[in-house]
Amino acid sequence: MKTQEQAILDALLGRQVITGSNAYAITKKECACGTLNLHKVLAKIRDKGYTINEQWCINSKSNTRFKEFTINNKKQKK
């Protein structure tokens, strides 16, 4: 079993755009976890030197806002 951090990092490195709902689905499938604190998982990935890009998006049908996250493949030097 992967950790939540490994599952999200693999998805990001695979060029998948991460939102809260698909991050939950990924971790539920790959980690058998029922809960997810996405910001804590992303903070751990940032601590490893990756740059996480985030932006607000609006769902045009329901007019709700959500964040989506992407990653730069290059690690930052510490």
Q: Token pair 């060029």 is at which residue?
A: 15
Task: State pLDDT tens for residues 25-76.
Answer: 988 888 887 778 889 999 999 998 899 999 999 888 888 899 999 998 666 6
The answer to whether the Cα torsion of 69, 56, 35, 76 is positive or negative is positive
Q: Of 33, 26, 17, 31, give the one whose Cα is nearest residue 66.
A: 17
Beta strand ranges found along 1-78 (DSSP E):
50-58, 65-75
What pTM was computed for the model? 0.82
The answer to whether the Cα torsion of 8, 30, 38, 54 is positive or negative is positive
The partner residues of 18 in beta bridges, in order of sequence, read 69
